[in-house]
Chains A and B, each alone.
Chain A
């Protein structure tokens, strides 16, 4: 355990977020409100649990037949006049995108939300090549102007207050000083981005679903930014992970019923757009990206994380995410799904512990990704790789030894009960570590559970 710690661990970053208690409370409540809306939307359709099961099974089926569906998707896309590219990793993806854009002398690209392009770090890459990239989802535009990454995958600027957005817009797009009314700010952004839509040379989106049988991609937004971006310029690009594939329209009908309901409690997103070929006189590209996904599929449990449809429901319900914020995770996707898919990228080796294993995320997931099982498994993988975070690396092996020996465990517990009874708290508190920071030490029980059980139950 002498790994270089290049960044700060989850707990330390959460400490920074938690300094402003009022903001933490607000953040937690705002996200819990989404969870409540989700619960109402789910309860309103009696077949909800059936839809979750179907969602899971459709994804499992597709993931176990990916080569067949990928080839079918490509062939059907080509039939429709869509140009299909394959990228092993983020670098290759970015190179392909840049080649297409430079061939068409694109100076300005309007982009709708795509976590995949965040994963590939596309924006900085294109900017370094002299291409102006405009994020067009309102939340994404806010954080782009604020030079921040998203703090949530569905509501990327949830960490900012309206006054902060007002100040930012005043400085960047010339709204009135001190104005913070969300309607006024949204309409100002509409006018500002409308100019960009009308002058862009190309549009780019992520992909919510790719339908193999049709050779079509589905993009879901509430704002209409993907469709404004794609339907004005001649050239459009769409990036998708291999996990976005589904077999047919019937599969889409299931996921379109759960996606928005589970994300924000809406019946469906305002726009669910099926792009099935280039516009007349236009050019449409789809870039299929692996970037580590095929590797995850080689592990039975990690593979299930690829069932995710990126609704963000697991973040909204997570007691740790709500109180530590999206920037405390050392991965661009925060919350439970971020831990599930990003733990091996976390050089502090701390994010698998940003979890109480309460299982709420698994309970709300519309495709039944076993999130808390995967998170527990990520801890095991860290331990097996000798990458337990600082502290845990020292005491966890000892805890393991003590726990696996009844004699040692009984001795240790006797000592603990004795100490709790007779030693002052101030002396004991340091042994409780981070656990004891905001908690009182427990009262010592009269005897061990084992002794109690023998006395009362073993007759």
Chain B
């Protein structure tokens, strides 16, 4: 008998009584979604740019490029100075990545980013600083709404990103900037 068959056979004698799948019927909190989102993002260490965000982003990117920084942009309106490589290792010197988010979650400040939006899976992690662009109308209240909306069908990878990478593994002291990006700016358009 294969291990699979053995495991499945052993699972025939589960002692728990059969249990139905519950329905999630939690009313979303819909007041001031942007305000909620901003508070959530702040709590996880990110910054929201609301005023004239796209122009602010482009001018910041121009300044960064003039300073010699390496910037990859996946947002149509913003021009970087690096292309998406086929080998992810080539992004090891990327300073800034500009990526469109598909969905923002008000209750926790996270943004859903997919492989096709990022161009390559490693992009939002390997960059020193991450800049996400989010449409205000794409903010949903909570994770139930978010997961009802996203679909993995056409993408091999998706991630909810909530703030810059962080750790508190040394004496519980919070340090921003662990292995992923060290800062996160979200540009609301």
**Assembled-state Cα–Cα distance A232/B164 (Å):** 19
Whether B156 and A276, one on each chain, are in contact in the complex, defined by CB atoms closer than 8 angstroms, is yes
Partner pick for B152 among A162, A214, A268, CB 8 A cutoff: A214
Whether B177 and A303, one on each chain, are in contact in the complex, defined by CB atoms closer than 8 angstroms, is no
A253 sits at the interface (CB 8 A): yes
Whether B88 and A232, one on each chain, are in contact in the complex, defined by CB atoms closer than 8 angstroms, is yes
Whether A273 and B19, one on each chain, are in contact in the complex, defined by CB atoms closer than 8 angstroms, is no
B179 sits at the interface (CB 8 A): yes
Whether A47 and B26, one on each chain, are in contact in the complex, defined by CB atoms closer than 8 angstroms, is yes
Whether A300 and B172, one on each chain, are in contact in the complex, defined by CB atoms closer than 8 angstroms, is no
Q: Which residues of B contact A63 (CB under 8 A)?
A: 14, 16, 19
Whether A268 and B160, one on each chain, are in contact in the complex, defined by CB atoms closer than 8 angstroms, is yes
A271 sits at the interface (CB 8 A): yes
Partner pick for A156 among B108, B150, B169, CB 8 A cutoff: B169
Per-residue 0/1 for A75-103: is the Cβ within 8 Å of any B Cβ (1 yes, 0 no)?
00000100000111000100000000000
Q: Which residues of A contact B172 (CB under 8 A)?
A: 30, 33-34, 155, 158
State how many angstroms separate the Cβ of A225 from the closest Cβ of chain B. 5
**Assembled-state Cα–Cα distance A275/B180 (Å):** 17
Residue of B nearest to A289 (CB): B7
Partner pick for A190 among B12, B88, B148, B179, CB 8 A cutoff: B179
Whether A138 and B167, one on each chain, are in contact in the complex, defined by CB atoms closer than 8 angstroms, is yes
Whether B178 and A190, one on each chain, are in contact in the complex, defined by CB atoms closer than 8 angstroms, is yes
Q: Which residues of A contact B110 (CB under 8 A)?
A: 267-268, 272
Per-residue 0/1 for B109-147: is the Cβ within 8 Å of any A Cβ (1 yes, 0 no)?
110000100001110011000000000000000111011
Q: Which residues of B contact A278 (CB under 8 A)?
A: 156
Report if A225-B11 is in contact (Cβ < 8 Å); known contacts: A63-B16, A155-B169, A250-B148. Answer: no
Chain A count of residues within 8 A CB distance of the other chain? 97
Whether B143 and A64, one on each chain, are in contact in the complex, defined by CB atoms closer than 8 angstroms, is no
Partner pick for A64 among B16, B24, B160, CB 8 A cutoff: B16
Q: Which residues of B contact A300 (CB under 8 A)?
A: 15-16
Whether B40 and A267, one on each chain, are in contact in the complex, defined by CB atoms closer than 8 angstroms, is yes
Whether A138 and B178, one on each chain, are in contact in the complex, defined by CB atoms closer than 8 angstroms, is yes
Whether B158 and A274, one on each chain, are in contact in the complex, defined by CB atoms closer than 8 angstroms, is yes
A216 sits at the interface (CB 8 A): yes
Flag the segment in A50-58, A341-349, A424-432 that touches B: A50-58
A383 sits at the interface (CB 8 A): no
Q: Which residues of A contact B52 (CB under 8 A)?
A: none
Residue of A nearest to B8 (CB): A67
Partner pick for B14 among A64, A194, A253, A256, CB 8 A cutoff: A64
**Assembled-state Cα–Cα distance A299/B156 (Å):** 38
A376 sits at the interface (CB 8 A): no
* 28 A-B pairs in the complex with CB atoms less than 8 angstroms apart: A47-B26, A57-B20, A61-B20, A64-B18, A138-B167, A139-B167, A155-B168, A155-B172, A161-B171, A182-B170, A182-B173, A186-B170, A198-B89, A222-B165, A223-B165, A228-B180, A253-B148, A267-B44, A268-B44, A270-B162, A270-B164, A272-B160, A272-B162, A274-B158, A275-B157, A279-B88, A297-B15, A300-B15
